[in-house]
């Protein structure tokens, strides 16, 4: 327990209604009270008319914990608590960072709105319900709205969500350690965005164990496929939040890698990266201050002679992911500052291909106007290649890199929306397309394990 976090007394014991000063006694009292309330809430069907947003989750938390805590129903934002948590779920120490407390309301409302667009998961098969429930549980868990009690709040929330979609959700069917491990794996995201489903596989498997079709005609009607409302794509807001999560999870790993490199000053550089990641997590506009530092840290790992073998594959991947995430956030920050509607972050090579073709023409023209004809020509040649295939490698990657470097040195162009879009597209297409996006096989998935660091 943490003393002085405004949810706790001077000894680190949570402020409670029962006058308990012993943390073990308090933990037992909390469990006894909240589990009874959880059972009662589940029987009642949850929050009537709940929309799975900020107001909904606050009500759930209050109903579960108001018998013990005067702050039941308050979020971390109400008392200004941020917090981090370590985990060893991958075999190495990882830092789990929750959403900035000032954004809890915004994020819960964004999650609830998107869930509503999916008709609250009605009309789905068991497998699809487990898949989408895994996605949303991860989003809620990362938001981590409350100082304590997030797990039971989410259990109540997903019991209600399941019931309203025609499924029984019974978390008692699994060992709590199974749920905790699945949540932590999703939080630390060992796999790159191109393999995002692998980060959620443990959560999906967990849901497949705890759900079953509810009996009765009404429940069957709720599972009717005609009710399904699959999303064509995530909302721009959810994609932007996801880019920041990518910076967090890879940033703290990059911090550890750099800090543990031999050589004078590397420890301090690693610590500085971690501080920059935290600052950018709390305020995305800080990317303007830290972008160069992040890029240098990534390049240090990518080019380090001791990190070139197969054992360093994950370190290399983390560095490239970190750099790409930082550049995406920088693009979003520039666009937002310019007052332009925030674009959707690119997800597939096909999306990147379309954006590249549009933005490359604008950037090439600007390069030519500023006396950079050779760099403009290089970019136009790459654009011709991109029209045929959504992948940039070898000489094309070298040429587009030279063009981007030249554009960055032109003040009038370096902060343009077109250049930001071009960088985002390159960030996608410099990676080989996943197997499912290509007609031929040959690209293997990232190794599941990490390397010692």
Distance separating alpha carbons of residues 90 and 87, to the nearest angstrom: 8
Look at residue 434 in the predicted model and tell me its pLDDT. 67
Which residues face 8 on adjacent strands?
14
User: How far is it, in rounded angstroms, from Cα 397 to Cα 421?
Assistant: 16
How far apart are the C-alpha atoms of 331 and 240, rounded to whole Å? 11
Global confidence as pTM: 0.74
Which one, of 163, 181, 52, 173, lies nearest residue 117 by Cα?
Answer: 52
Within 338-393, residue ranges assigned H as helices are: 349-369, 373-388
What is the 8-class DSSP label of residue 8? B
Q: What is the largest CA-CA distance in the chain?
A: 75
Cβ pair 338, 332 in contact under 8 A? no
Which residue(s) pair with 167 in the sheet?
213
Contacts of 59 (CB under 8 A, 6+ apart): 47, 50, 73
Q: How far apart are CA 85 and CA 284, in angstroms?
A: 21
The pLDDT assigned to 4 comes to 56
- Residue 377, classed as helix, strand or coil, is helix
Tell me if residue 221 falls in helix, strand or coil: helix
Q: Which residues of the chain have pLDDT under 50?
A: 1, 339-344, 436-453
CA 328/CA 107 separation, integer angstroms:
19
DSSP state of 14: B
CATH classification of 23-227, choosing from 3.40.50.970, 1.10.3290.10, 3.30.300.20, 1.10.3720.10?
Answer: 1.10.3290.10
Domain boundaries, the chain: 23-227, 235-345, 348-435
Rounded CA gap, 315 and 339, in Å? 36
Decide the pairing of beta strands 211-213 and 167-169. Answer: antiparallel
């Amino acid at each position: 327990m943490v003393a002085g976090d405004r949810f706790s007394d001077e000894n680190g014991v949570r402020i409670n209604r029962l006058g308990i000063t012993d943390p073990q006694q308090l933990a037992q009292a909390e469990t006894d009270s909240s589990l009874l309330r959880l059972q009662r809430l589940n029987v009642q069907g949850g929050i009537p008319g709940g929309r799975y947003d900020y107001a909904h989750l606050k009500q759930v938390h209050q109903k579960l914990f108001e018998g013990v805590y005067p702050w039941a129903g308050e979020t971390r934002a109400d008392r200004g608590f941020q917090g981090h948590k370590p985990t060893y779920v991958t075999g190495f120490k990882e830092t789990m960072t929750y959403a900035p407390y000032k954004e809890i309301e915004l994020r819960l409302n964004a999650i609830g709105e998107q869930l509503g667009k999916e008709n609250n998961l009605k009309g789905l098969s068991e497998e699809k319900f487990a898949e989408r429930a895994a996605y949303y549980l991860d989003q809620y868990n990362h938001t981590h709205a409350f100082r304590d009690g997030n797990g039971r709040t989410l259990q109540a929330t997903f019991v209600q969500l399941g019931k309203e979609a025609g499924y029984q959700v019974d978390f008692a069917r699994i060992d709590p350690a199974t749920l905790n491990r699945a949540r932590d794996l999703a939080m630390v995201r060992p796999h790159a965005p191109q393999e995002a489903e692998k980060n959620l596989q443990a959560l999906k498997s967990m849901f497949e164990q705890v759900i079953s079709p509810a009996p009765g005609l009404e429940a069957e009607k709720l599972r009717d496929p005609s009710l399904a409302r699959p999303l064509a794509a995530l909302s721009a807001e959810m994609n932007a939040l996801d880019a920041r999560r990518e910076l967090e999870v890879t940033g703290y790993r990059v911090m550890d890698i750099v800090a543990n490199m031999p050589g004078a000053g590397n420890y301090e550089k690693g610590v500085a990266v971690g501080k920059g990641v935290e600052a950018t997590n709390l305020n995305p506009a800080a990317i303007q201050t830290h972008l160069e530092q992040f890029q240098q840290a990534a390049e240090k790992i990518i080019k380090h002679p001791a990190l070139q073998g197969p054992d360093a594959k994950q370190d290399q991947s983390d560095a490239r992911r970190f750099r790409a995430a930082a550049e995406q956030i920088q693009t979003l920050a520039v666009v937002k500052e310019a007052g332009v509607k925030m674009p959707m972050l690119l997800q597939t090579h096909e999306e990147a291909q379309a954006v590249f073709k549009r933005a490359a023409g604008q950037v090439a023209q600007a390069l030519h106007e500023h006396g950079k004809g050779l760099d403009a020509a290089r970019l136009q040649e790459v654009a011709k290649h991109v029209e045929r295939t959504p992948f940039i490698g070898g000489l094309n990657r070298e040429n587009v890199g030279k063009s981007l470097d030249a554009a960055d040195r032109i003040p009038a162009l370096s902060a343009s929306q077109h250049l930001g879009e071009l960088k985002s597209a390159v960030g996608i297409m410099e990676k080989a397309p996943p197997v499912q996006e290509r007609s031929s096989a040959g690209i293997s998935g990232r190794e599941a394990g990490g390397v010692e660091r």
